[in-house]
Structure 1
Amino acid sequence: MIFQFFSPRRPDETERKLPPVSNPLLLLSAMQLAKKIRRKEVSSVEVVQAYVDRIQEVNPLVNAVVKDRFAAALQEAAQVDKLIEEETGGEEVLEDRLPLLGVPLSVKEAFALQGMPFTTGLISRRGVVATVDAPPVALLKRAGAIPLGVTNTSELCMWLESHNHLYGITKNPYNLERIPGGSSGGEGSLLGAAGSVIGIGADIGGSIRMPCFFNGVFGHKTTPGVVSCENQHPNFSGRQEEYLSTGPMCRYAEDLLPMLKIMAGPNANMLSLNTKVDLKKLRFFSIPHAGSNPLLSPVSKELLDIQRKVVARLEADLGVKVQEVRFPELRYSFQIWDTYMGLPDYEGKPIVPFATLMGDSGPPKWPLWELLKRMMGKSDHTMPAILVGLMEMIKPSKPSAFIIQQKEKLQKEVEELLGTDGVFFYPSHTRVAPRHHHPLFRIYDFAYTGIINILGLPVTQCPLGLGEEGLPLGVQVVAGKLQDHLTLAVALYLEKAFGGWRDPGAK
């Protein structure tokens, strides 16, 4: 009965699957493609056309790209090829000045990309078009990347399933009955489907990491304040800027670091991205789960097992000792995230209510009224958005002193544990990609990613092969503040050890 509120499922969903990758250009990293383009071993037009063809092949199945710019992208690729033909300074000059020259890029629709929709799935924003580029998008374009289009999000970027009434529902390339995550779910789905090689996402509670986990690709939540979060919709308010991070998403681990260097611009100097990391000299820790809390589902056996395999492999390969640690404060992860997301800024300016965001430039929406309309099939809003609005209505106006205390204690303990040479592994979620709409019944499980936002730590999401149901497994790799280079180095190791991304069409 309840599912009448949601999108209907096609009857043949279980039989349909993605076609395997047939063009070998789609199996190269962005760095490999850029090198081949610079050396004239392949043209940018050929590469962009290969990705256009792949998107046209898979998007009818996954609904990840909500607006393309294929014609413009092919024109820009032709200009790249002409520039390379006329370049007299040599390959090194091009690599230094334009490290992503001719490489295709996908962009989450919540980022301003000039000339493209900028709605985050809100029907009242239909027709809103970005007039500028968000800073990290501009930096990637300036490095030579060519945007192919924009990808789907959850409504207003506040849910772990990418579904809205403007663009519809996005599906997981490994199983069309499963979610791709959110809010960067269109990015995750497209990357997992080999419809893109690099993408861009933002993360305030797991919006990069959950899609990367569910779709078997890599993603990095940067230390906050390094990559600009300007010109995204919705805008942050209160203290949310402290917890929001923009970062790279990609199929191949070697693309993470060069992308982050570009996206950070001058702020890249805040990080030690040029420092060579000796994994044998790092201190490694493993946190198996958050502990007992009735709000959180237990972590599934297959995710506990794969994390143990990571530990065993690391110890065998590198001769290091991985220490298992537990923090009792983690059981309050959701309460900590929820509390800190609602705090006013340091001048006392409050958070913009979600109901106000739902109303956009008009009056705030009434979540109870929208729920009644939803039951009659008349609301412009999804059930998750309405639910977020309802939860906000019953949220205590004063933060809990106990929860504040738990967060401060956890922050101190974790920072002391990690220092500048520590890394810990932590589950990405409680289970592999759920079925569509099922997160409504396990609302709080995103706390496994959300708590890392509140702690302000850098974290890389790493794929670890496929599980029992043919769905991606993975783990979060977390380091101390500004130690992003450590988790990126571990990502390279895990890709070699566990095989990285797998073609969903080859399953």
Structure 2
Amino acid sequence: MSILRRVLVFVLRTSSRLLLAVIRLISFFSGNPPPVSPPRDPLLLTPASVLADRIRRGEVKSSVVVQSFISRIREVNPTINALVCDRFDEALREAKAVDDLVSSGTQDERTLKENYPLLGVPLSVKEAFALQGMPNSSGLLSRRSLRSETDATVVSRLKRAGAIPLGVTNCSELCMWYESSNNIYGQSRNPYNPQHIVGGSSGGEGSIIGSGGSVIGVGSDIGGSIRMPAYFNGIYGHKPTSGIVPNEGQFPNAHGCRTELLCTGPMCRYPADLPLVLKVMAGKNVEKLSLEKEVSLRSLRFFSMENDGGCLFVSPVDKELVQVQRRSFTELMADGNSMWPSFELVKWMFGLSKHTLPAIGLALTEKLANLNPEGNAKMIQKAKNLKEEINSLLGDDGILLYPSHPKIAPKHNEPIAMPFNFAYTGIFNVLGVPVTQCPLGLSEGGLPLGIQIISSQHNDHLTLALAQYLESSLVGWTPPGCI
């Protein structure tokens, strides 16, 4: 049996390496296109919270801000293919209405802030979410002609808060793969190097925000679908505590055991915008969190894991990612306490869709899993045990640092050779804990580096506060084309 296992391991590893070699060879002959140019307009380099304040004070018009982002999208989208359907004319009309409201003087600045915390701020939305008048296919050909008649719950809340949607962004087919490509809109590309992936399934969001074409966005996460695109595109993404933000109005939605895995959350270029957008998305559920609570690093305990212990089906962690995680840990330790735990994380596999190759593969995986209900029950119990262990370990003052992904943004199609690398994000959907992905500068090759910050359930304020600290002490979003 030992010999058979060794032979199997050798065959699997060799097959994976050969497939990667073929993909990289094809990529080599396709050329090396440059990254998109960095944004120059100061409005494109301003956090959403600051833009909203300036619009409310009448210092800048919403119509000017919206037009700046529209111009940027027109500049970069031919390269990255991130925004797949726009509503620019409607957005400009809505921005004009905001300007008229501010100039009318019927509401003072304080009242405007209470009623419209995101007044006049541009917003992008993952195509999987319903946005009135926009497509909502999730890359499924049979839904190609569908147009949404209503808004998803979170989209409606953001619009009521004053945000102005510019359009919808690309995702993987049925939101079940970590490269955003489908048979309706094609392949989205990384603004830092178009030969590389944007992640999935909220990849279009990551790409358009990372390129400077949007400042805040709506994503969903069932196995890392917010955090992987945020990482690959150098921005911030937050997977809230499960059940805090409503998932209604997206396709496909989660059912059965997947309900607890799916989370809707914000994607932003600046960490200060994460709690602001999360408050709007969560509605009354925000009361279950402590987002206004001040966080002292000296009162926190820090844990760090540099890898998952090693696995045949998951890539080793790139050295640059290990180094940047150690640098983050050292920075946090200047004010806190540390531990290096050796607990092992459970891997989680799921599949649902079909038609594209990754979707078909995931569907087959699910069918095979259904043949072993006894094994599934054991895995569910293990997940429950680990969930209790993690929440007990971290308590209300513990933070875990963990890689966002084992690899720096792969080239297109490379995920097919290592389909289970999403385990680095997917495990935390199983556990239901809040996670914030933070950018940490660029690699030697000019691609984003990042890290996940994890806390126990309902302690989202800890990860969000640390994201802001790391931006101020290390580095945050770095515009593409800057090296």
| TM above 0.5 | yes
Distance 1:408 1:20 in 2: 45
Q: What is the aligned counterpart of 1:416 among 384, 392, 399?
A: 392
Q: What is the aligned counterpart of 2:68 among 31, 50, 53?
A: 50
Letter in 2 for 1:242: E
Shift of 1:11: 6.6
Relative to structure 1, is the Cα distance of residues 162 and 88 closer, same or farther in structure 2, using a 3 angstrom cutoff? same
**Any idea what the Cα deviations from partners look like across 1:276-298, whole Å, max 9, x if unmatched?**
11122111111121112212211
Contact 2:439 2:451 in 1 (8 A): yes
Shift of 1:15: 3.3
Distance 1:420 1:76 in 2: 42
- SS of 2:464's partner is helix
Does residue 313 of the first structure (1) align with residue 331 of the second (2)? yes
**Could you say which residue in structure 2 is the equivalent of 1:323?**
339
Does residue 260 of the first structure (1) align with residue 275 of the second (2)? no
Contact 1:290 1:327 in 2 (8 A): no
**Could you say which residue in structure 2 is the equivalent of 1:458?**
434
**Could you say which residue in structure 1 is the equivalent of 2:352?**
354
Does residue 155 of the first structure (1) align with residue 173 of the second (2)? yes
Relative to structure 1, is the Cα distance of residues 288 and 9 closer, same or farther in structure 2, using a 3 angstrom cutoff? closer
Contact 1:288 1:324 in 2 (8 A): no
Letter in 1 for 2:352: F
Shift of 1:471: 0.7
Instruction: Map 1:95-494 onto structure 2 (within 5 A).
Output: 95-316=113-334, 318=335, 320-328=336-344, 330=345, 333-334=346-347, 337-338=348-349, 354=352, 358=354, 381-395=355-369, 396-400=371-375, 402-494=378-470
Distance 2:366 2:384 in 1: 24
Contact 1:21 1:505 in 2 (8 A): no
Contact 2:33 2:195 in 1 (8 A): no
Shift of 1:236: 1.1
Shift of 1:406: 3.4
Contact 2:38 2:211 in 1 (8 A): no
Letter in 1 for 2:358: P
Distance 2:328 2:304 in 1: 9
Does residue 30 of the first structure (1) align with residue 6 of the second (2)? no
Shift of 1:12: 6.5
Relative to structure 1, is the Cα distance of residues 76 and 405 closer, same or farther in structure 2, using a 3 angstrom cutoff? closer
Instruction: Map 1:11-22 onto structure 2 (within 5 A).
Output: 13-22=31-40
- SS of 2:224's partner is coil
Task: Give TM-score scaled by structure 1 length.
Answer: 0.88
Does residue 74 of the first structure (1) align with residue 92 of the second (2)? yes
Shift of 1:225: 0.8
**Any idea what the Cα deviations from partners look like across 1:287-316, whole Å, max 9, x if unmatched?**
121112212211111111111111111123
Shift of 1:13: 4.7
Letter in 2 for 1:502: T
Relative to structure 1, is the Cα distance of residues 125 and 501 closer, same or farther in structure 2, using a 3 angstrom cutoff? same
Moved more, 66-75 or 402-411: 402-411
Distance 1:250 1:126 in 2: 28
Q: What is the aligned counterpart of 2:110 among 92, 96, 100?
A: 92
Shift of 1:405: 4.7
CA RMSD between the two structures = 1.9
Contact 1:221 1:247 in 2 (8 A): yes
Task: Give TM-score scaled by structure 2 length.
Answer: 0.92
Distance 1:275 1:15 in 2: 45
Moved more, 283-292 or 186-195: 283-292
**Could you say which residue in structure 1 is the equivalent of 2:482?**
506
Equivalent pairs: percent with the same residue?
Answer: 52
The answer for unaligned runs of 5 or more in structure 2 is 1-17
Number of aligned pairs?
A: 462
Relative to structure 1, is the Cα distance of residues 199 and 399 closer, same or farther in structure 2, using a 3 angstrom cutoff? farther
Contact 2:297 2:332 in 1 (8 A): no
